[in-house]
Chains A and B, each alone.
Chain A
Amino acid sequence: MKDIERLLEERGLAPPSADLDGRMAELFAEAQTTPRPRVFARRVPLWLAAAACMLFAFTGYWFHGIESEPVPDPGTRTTIYVVHTDGNSPQGAFDMTADDYIVLGQPDRPQVRILDLEHGTLENSRNRSATNGGVS
């Protein structure tokens, strides 16, 4: 490899023209007198910057305020009836099959669940007859 490298190194290189040297000399001379370039090309007045900040802050607050209004959940409502029993209530006394009742005139058909505090169960009213728990 060394012979090839030597062969190439011995080959003279084409020099740049005197025109390039002249252009570069002018470039450096001009650069000496040119001031350091600023980070921002234009000067922005302080009052304009402050006004822009306030405008963005106000716009952001306005949009954020609209989005933070609570949106009601249109999903299924669950009504929980807390039933305190002494164990003597007859079975079926509190039949709250949700499909047959429209509670409080609401157009939605709420799902009714029964919480039995004594037995610690929470059942759907539809399943009440299938299980042995629930209101007793």
Chain B
Amino acid sequence: MRRTEFVEVVRRYYEGHRQELYTYALAVTRCRQAAEDVVHTVFCKLLARGRPPRDMGPYVFRSVRNAAIDELARRGNAKPAESVFETPAPKTDPALGLWAEEALESLGDDERETIVLKLYAGMTFKEIAAARRVSINTAASWYRRGLEKLRTAFEEDKP
């Protein structure tokens, strides 16, 4: 594959998944500036490879996670943590919107990241498992457990 073709492939992938990649980076770093830096760093390294990975999706999301963890270690936890959701919530009930924000933040890292990848990145459990290097069952159980916690919290604190 020639250099120009490779760059074009990467550029199209970024444009097609820009929101999902940024949301995932934000879910890990909890800081918008850090999330943008992470996405930029990941694509710098991807272009430096010179050739596309065998499986672009899981590779890129895995790289985003690794870079986000490194960035988090470098910067420390953002205070206050910034949400993956836009503020204010324009479409849904503001109280519900706020609840969703807080509820997602209360989950464990694995559960929150899996929900973000499944609901917002549109990944299948197989793709999530490949990105996180775990079994499909593990990814599915993280997702299911996260949703159960959200449901329980929703039932208890129904706004």
Contacts and interface: CB of A to CB of B under 8 A. Distances in A.
- Asked if A and B are interacting partners, one says yes
Interface of A: 1, 4-5, 7-17, 19-21, 23-24, 27-28, 31-32, 34-37
Contact of B151 (A4, A16, A27): A4
30 contacts: A1-B148, A5-B147, A7-B96, A8-B100, A8-B150, A9-B120, A11-B91, A12-B85, A12-B89, A12-B91, A13-B85, A13-B120, A14-B23, A14-B82, A14-B83, A14-B85, A15-B19, A16-B22, A16-B35, A16-B39, A20-B36, A21-B18, A23-B36, A24-B14, A27-B47, A28-B47, A31-B10, A31-B47, A34-B47, A37-B48
B103 to A, nearest CB: 9
A6 to B, nearest CB: 10
A108 to B, nearest CB: 64
Contact of A13 (B23, B36, B92, B115): B23
A28 B3 contact: no
B68 interface: no
Contact of A14 (B4, B43, B49, B86): B86
Interface residues of B, number: 46
Interface in B110-144: 115, 119-120, 144
B75 interface: no
A12 B89 CA distance: 7
A34 B144 CA distance: 45
B155 to A, nearest CB: 10
A35 B3 contact: yes
Contacts of B144: 1
B53 interface: no
Given A14-B87, A27-B44, A20 B39 contact: yes
Contacts of B84: 13-14
B86 A24 contact: no
B19 A13 contact: yes
A5 B18 contact: no
A5 B83 CA distance: 17
B50 interface: yes
Contact of B91 (A10, A20, A21, A32): A10
A5 B120 CA distance: 10
B18 A16 contact: yes
A4 B36 CA distance: 28
B104 A8 contact: yes
Contacts of A34: 3, 47
Nearest to A28: B11
Going nearest first, the 7 A-B pairs with the smallest beta carbon separation are A16-B22, A20-B36, A12-B86, A31-B47, A28-B11, A31-B7, A14-B86
